[in-house]
Amino acid sequence: MSVFRFKQFQVDEAGAAMKVGTDGILLGAWAPVPGKARRILDVGTGNGLIALMLAQRCPLAHITGIDRDPSAAAQAKANMAASPWSERLRAHAADFGTYARDAAKDWDALVSNPPFYREMVSSGEPRRDQARQLRSLPFETLLEGADRLLGPAGTLSLILPVGEAPGFMDLAAAHSLYPLRLCRVRGLPDVPCKRMLLHLGRTAGKPKVSELIIAQIAGEPSTEFRALTRDYYLKM
């Protein structure tokens, strides 16, 4: 299936380096973006999924997605154009480091489902490797850009492997970005936490910490996962 259908939009992912996945859906549904946000940047937009999810729930926001892969940016642009919010969405092919140096400042929010694989073993698909490997968007580059682009009340939301989160937060503090909310994600109640959702802003303090279990048993979404994603998934 090359088209993933949601309640209010669809994502054509034919030929995409990275398909629609749980990480992106989690971030798009969870990211604590203010309802009055006007300017949101989706870093590494891929097929445009997260940008589309944010457009659905942020009716005042103009959302820009950037991706260093021109094919991904073109696919995101097409998916955005086919959505009900096409006038508030746009996509560009751009390297984030360069974009952050040249773009206007004072964004309300940045979101990113960034690459995080440190190993350099090739999958045999260069575009997939680029979308997955940390060297394509080092954490330091992401944080430098976020620091420059975000306004005083701006926030950065992302999803990472739980093992990468502490080091990322240490780096973030050096750029005056501090955790406001953290959510540990488990696939099942009795399995280790593998993902962490992070929401960072300019205010240092004790973050609000929560946990999300995706399924109570294999194949049966949990009550909290259903509540989080019910505005998007067709069968929730």
| Local structure of 191: helix, strand or coil | coil
Let me know if residue 234 belongs to a domain. Answer: no
Measured at the CA of 228, the angle between CA 213 and CA 88, to 5 degrees, comes to: 140
Let me know if residue 132 belongs to a domain. Answer: yes
Let me know if residue 12 belongs to a domain. Answer: yes
Let me know if residue 69 belongs to a domain. Answer: yes
The count of structural domains within the chain is 1
- Is-contact 29 53, C-beta < 8 A? yes
Let me know if residue 63 belongs to a domain. Answer: yes
State pTM to two decimals.
0.90
Let me know if residue 70 belongs to a domain. Answer: yes
Q: How confident is the model at residue 14 (pLDDT cuts 50, 70, 90)?
A: confident
| Local structure of 202: helix, strand or coil | coil
- Side-chain-side CA neighbours of 1 within 13 Å: the count stands at 6
Let me know if residue 235 belongs to a domain. Answer: no
Q: What residue numbers bound the domain in which 224 lies? A: 3-229
- CATH number of the domain encompassing residue 80: 3.40.50.150
Query: What is the average pLDDT across 33-46?
Result: 91
d(CA 204, CA 177): 8
pLDDT digits 0-9 by tens, 128-169: 444 444 456 789 999 999 999 999 999 999 999 999 999 999
pLDDT digits 0-9 by tens, 174-225: 999 999 999 999 999 999 999 999 999 999 999 999 999 999 988 899 999 9
Let me know if residue 236 belongs to a domain. Answer: no
pLDDT digits 0-9 by tens, 48-107: 999 999 999 999 999 999 999 999 999 999 999 999 999 999 999 999 999 999 999 999
Element (H, E) at 120: none
